[in-house]
Amino acid sequence: MAVGKKEENMAVEIVKPRIDKRDYRRIVLQNNLEILLISDPETDKCAASMNVCVGAFSDPEGLEGLAHFLEHMLFYASEKYPVEDSYSKYITENGGSTNAFTSSEDTNYYFEVNADGFEEALDRFAQFFIKPLMSADATTREIKAVDSEHQKNLLSDPWRMNQLQKHLSAENHPYHKFSTGSWDTLEVRPKERGIDTRQELLKFYSENYSANLMHLVVYSKDSLDKVEQLVRGKFQDIRNIDRNQIHFTGQPCIMEHLQILVRAVPIKQGHKLKIIWPITPGIHHYKEGPCRYLGHLIGHEGEGSLFYVLKKLGWATSLSAGESDWTNEFSFFKVAIDLTDAGQDHFEDIMGLLFKYIHLLQQAGASKWIFEELSAICETAFHYQDKIRPSDYVVNVAMNMQHYPPEDWLVASSLPSKFNPSIIQSFLNELNPDNVRIFWESTKFEGNTSMTEPWYGTAYSIEKVGGDSIKQWMEHAPSEELHLPAPNVFIPTDLSLKPVFEKTKVPILLRKSPYSRLWYKPDTAFSSPKAYVMIDFSCPYCGHSPEAEVLTEIFTRLLMDYLNEYAYNAQVAGLYYDISKTNSGFQLTLFGYNDKLRVLLEAVIEKVAKFEVKPDRFSVVKELVTKQYQNFKFQQPYQQVMYYCSLLLKDNIWPWNEELEVLPHLKVDDLVKFYPLLMARSFMECYVAGNVEQAEAESMIQLIEDVFFKGPQSISKPLFASQHLTNRVVNLERGVNYVYAAEGLNPSDENSALVHYIQVHQDDFMLNVKLQLFALIAKQPAFHQLRSVEQLGYITVLMQRSDSGVHGVQFIVQSTAKDPKYIDTRVELFMKMFESKLYEMTSDEFKNNVNALIDMKLEKHKNLREESRFYWREISDGTLKFDRRDREIVALKQLTQKELTDFFDEYIKVGVPRKKALSVRVYGSSHSSQFQAHKNEQMEPNAVQIEEIFSFRRSRPLYSSFKGGFGHVRL
């Protein structure tokens, strides 16, 4: 059916959050393009997202990945802006970012940019959909980029298992397709059949990209009237061919794909269960929220829940449940369980318990009080939601526009409000044994499978599982008591805002004692009933040895494990907590509604203070930590080079392989003895921000001090002056190019990677802004040259790097096409090419870049969490320059163009005597011969091969530490 003419002047009241001050307006252009305009006078960044209702399901037969390939191609050039890559260059130079993604039925394009550059950015963006140029040369190059993206995913378990689920579906349904595309599907196979991919690309665009299939969201600082005028002028030329929206009717899974048990071999260590049912799409009943209700209960982690029982039995470490992979025509309900080794041996019991819990829900019927509680939680979350990045916001809303009526574009399915027991029951009835698909992943299945998925090469076997088998599993399952959750005591009831008497712009040092230091920042910007609390425990014994490091990891994981049943309700109600290991001890983070935050904090502190080692949970957590260390070798090569780079530069880091080596020998008794040593002496760096009064903040920290340091049975003593921990970084030698090379840890991974790091200076406002300005100007040219022109690899980035206040810049490239040494030469060649561009830059271009960087620094924090993380970085680094942005703006305004080129000539330029460079190279299996050859080659002058990381680290001086002197506060 044709989409039909949309009502142009339909008056719509769009439901928005109570605290949302933005204005919204729906308009429809003459070409039937439906648009939502958003006016936010407070925003620093403007954004837009165009959602095109055409995705991978529309790929022509034999041209898998064409929709995704088209998404890549639209970024290159247009008739109005024919210079290749000028769109992305413009966005970057105006402090913005841009990207796109292709899903089953949609392709979404988006960007955000400084407000001053928005009008031209929007004009350039509109040309994607008016007259793009897809040159033959760019077409060939970008097929390589699509292939590189696919190569990156080949050894990723989520990609592999997702494709296996698609593979085991009806071949005549588009769900079955491979959607990413590769060199094979877009170049080799079409050529063999005499098909010109570029012609197919042009045809696909002209036949599918029609204004009536598009939804646009524009987020601006201007008034609605002004932004409407702007948008009408720029987007009315998108042609409308009244293209019918394609509806892919029918179910992807017919009878042969149901009642199946699939055993699959993953890449990473571990065991997972995914139990999947095809269901009615929840979108048809989004106000009744049946999937949210069922996901809430089946995925619950409190006492009596399925996960509570599986965890108590030692069989599972995580469980989630909810709707996934949905369209308007079909959907799936998925339960995902991470199993322990013991759980792997109790598959039938676990399946029996799951179906017993579903049976319990069917017997109990839909519960009104549970629905109302869930509805209240959702309502509070919607009305007090944090502002997010404009680009993320416009993408979310543009995706909603094709599925929901205009009044619910912002709400979507986040506000279940109509309790309808019969609808919930009908969805529950779909979760039955006749309808189930079970995907069981484990490395234990290796060598015992008979089939291979064609696109990713995943080994699997398949067998039928009838309802009688599941009935037997239910009968034989353990007789643990499963029951519905109790009422949630963490739902906030007081959402009032506390008075702020002192409008402080930055954190203040509120309290100092031999045990702690408290930084405090009341909410003066967000008018939100939320708080952010960070307590960082500095414990010298934590970094004592690899064993101490691993025991601290197990200790923090056990604390999270013990708290789970109690604190899960807090997370459901919007109060989040985390306890995690750091290089210097461990830290506790709490964030969310302040109403019940103190209650949760007291519970967590009590668990830390009264820590005991439960042998059964110790073995489960040790197993989990061991698998994570074992899976380190399956990280992407670009992640491996970044790890080696950190290991080379940062003092006091233990290598993962040493930690893995000690893990098997650690026993319960080791942790019992370790805990008092860990806590024997400590210091707390604390940060409390948000809707909290000064007295409350002080009282929280006093409470913790009383528990740990006061009283006859104190757990901890204050640190000696000599024990305050430092964070120090290796100072590379000037005029030397250091090279560290290693083979990839996974012999099956063909990808190689490079980090080319240039170390510049220790924190200094003027040097900071010179480095930032260089990175801003060079970022897009580097991406264009190394990724788009030379096609070295899909992952290609130039970015700043900061290690505890030591600043530099790094190129990161991952490639199957070229080895890391070759890529290194291309990086240096790029910098030689860039030299002339920098020297030839006009004074206007220089001013524009400076102004773009100033605009980026003037950008306000969007929410409390973002603000808190910014200030916490200053505290954890020890730099304490809370007014950093203001001071760097002053430095930028004083900066001259000559000072920038002098900076480049002194620190960055290839071959200059003051330059400090480090190349970290990881060789994938496709370049193993080059690894051996390069190791034996003579090094170039001024180049030094690092043979062993720790000898190198010990041989170099370190930068001074900003952190580590008790009471020494630099402001």
| HEC profile of 715-759 | CCECCCHHHCCCCCEECCCCCEEEEEEEECCCCCCCCEEEEEEEE
Rg (CA), the chain: 29
Question: In angstroms, rounded to a whole number, what is the distance separating the alpha carbons of residues 425 and 363?
Answer: 10
For residue 285, tell me if it sits in a domain: yes
DSSP-assigned letter for residue 577: E
> Which domain-ending residue is among 690, 718, 746?
718
Count the neighbouring beta carbons within 10 Å of the beta carbon of residue 643: 19
Q: What is the pLDDT of residue 712?
A: 77
Q: What is the pLDDT of residue 257?
A: 97
Residue among 890, 785, 766 nearest 832 (CA): 785
Q: Which residues contact 675 (CB under 8 A, 6 or more apart)?
A: 555, 611, 613
Q: What is the pLDDT of residue 7?
A: 65
Residue among 600, 587, 622, 580 nearest 531 (CA): 600
Q: Are 95 and 853 in contact (CB under 8 A)?
A: yes
For residue 748, tell me if it sits in a domain: yes
In sequence order, the β-bridge partners of residue 339 are 271, 316
Residue 863 exposure: Cα atoms within 13 Å on the Cβ side:
16
Phi and psi at 963, nearest 5°, equal -110, 155
Structure tokens at 308: 């509570």
Q: In this structure, are 734 and 712 located in the same domain? A: no
Q: Which residues contact 88 (CB under 8 A, 6 or more apart)?
A: 75, 98, 780, 783, 784
142 is catalytic: yes
> Which domain-ending residue is among 662, 693, 718?
718
Q: In this structure, are 189 and 267 located in the same domain? A: no
SS3 for 780?
A: helix
Structure tokens at 639: 């992640």
Q: In this structure, are 696 and 738 located in the same domain? A: no
pTM of model > 0.75: yes
Question: In angstroms, rounded to a whole number, what is the distance separating the alpha carbons of residues 484 and 303?
Answer: 9
Residue among 129, 308, 111 nearest 219 (CA): 111
Q: What is the pLDDT of residue 9?
A: 56
Q: In this structure, are 849 and 817 located in the same domain? A: yes
Q: In this structure, are 756 and 660 located in the same domain? A: no
For residue 500, tell me if it sits in a domain: no
Q: In this structure, are 877 and 841 located in the same domain? A: yes
Q: In this structure, are 178 and 274 located in the same domain? A: no
Q: What is the DSSP annotation of 886-925?
A: HHHHHHHHH--HHHHHHHIIIIISTT-TT-EEEEEEEE-G
Question: In angstroms, rounded to a whole number, what is the distance separating the alpha carbons of residues 318 and 337?
Answer: 6
Residue among 96, 70, 65, 284 nearest 186 (CA): 65
Q: Are 591 and 527 in contact (CB under 8 A)?
A: no
- CATH code of the domain containing 287: 3.30.830.10
The residue type found at 275 is I
* Pure H helices in 419-493: 421-430, 467-476
- If phi > 0 it is left, if psi is from -120 to 50 it is alpha, else beta; for residue 251 that is beta
Angle at 463 between CA 459 and CA 467, to 5 degrees: 145
Question: In angstroms, rounded to a whole number, what is the distance separating the alpha carbons of residues 788 and 84?
Answer: 10
Residue among 240, 250, 179, 232 nearest 208 (CA): 240
SS3 for 292?
A: helix
**Total domain count, the chain:** 4
Angle at 533 between CA 384 and CA 720, to 5 degrees: 175
> Strands 214-220 and 260-264, how do they pair?
unpaired
Find the catalytic residue in 34, 142, 553, 790: 142
Q: In this structure, are 847 and 774 located in the same domain? A: yes
Can you give the residue range of the structural domain that contains 468? 255-366+420-476
First to last CA, the chain: 66
For residue 250, tell me if it sits in a domain: no
- Cβ burial of 684 (10 Å; 0-12, 13-18, 19+) is buried
Q: What is the pLDDT of residue 342?
A: 98
Q: In this structure, are 545 and 651 located in the same domain? A: yes
Find the catalytic residue in 71, 373, 547, 549: 71
User: 10-residue block means of pLDDT along the chain (971 residues)?
Assistant: 53 93 97 98 97 97 97 96 96 96 97 97 98 94 95 97 98 96 97 97 97 98 98 97 90 96 97 98 98 98 97 98 95 98 98 98 97 98 97 98 97 97 98 97 97 98 95 95 97 96 91 97 96 97 95 98 96 98 96 98 96 98 97 97 98 94 98 97 97 97 96 89 92 97 96 98 98 97 96 96 97 97 98 96 96 96 98 96 97 98 97 96 96 90 94 96 62 32
Question: In angstroms, rounded to a whole number, what is the distance separating the alpha carbons of residues 815 and 346?
Answer: 42
For residue 459, tell me if it sits in a domain: yes
> Which domain-ending residue is among 187, 202, 236?
236
Instruction: Strand 214-220: give its sheet, edge to edge.
Output: 23-28, 34-39, 214-220, 45-52, 107-114, 97-102
For residue 584, tell me if it sits in a domain: yes
Q: In this structure, are 772 and 871 located in the same domain? A: yes
Structure tokens at 328: 């308007």
- Cβ burial of 603 (10 Å; 0-12, 13-18, 19+) is middle
For residue 661, tell me if it sits in a domain: yes
Residue among 481, 288, 483 nearest 374 (CA): 288
For residue 750, tell me if it sits in a domain: yes
Q: In this structure, are 585 and 670 located in the same domain? A: yes
Q: What is the pLDDT of residue 1?
A: 31
Q: In this structure, are 527 and 472 located in the same domain? A: no
SS3 for 365?
A: coil
- Cβ burial of 571 (10 Å; 0-12, 13-18, 19+) is middle
Q: What is the pLDDT of residue 965?
A: 57
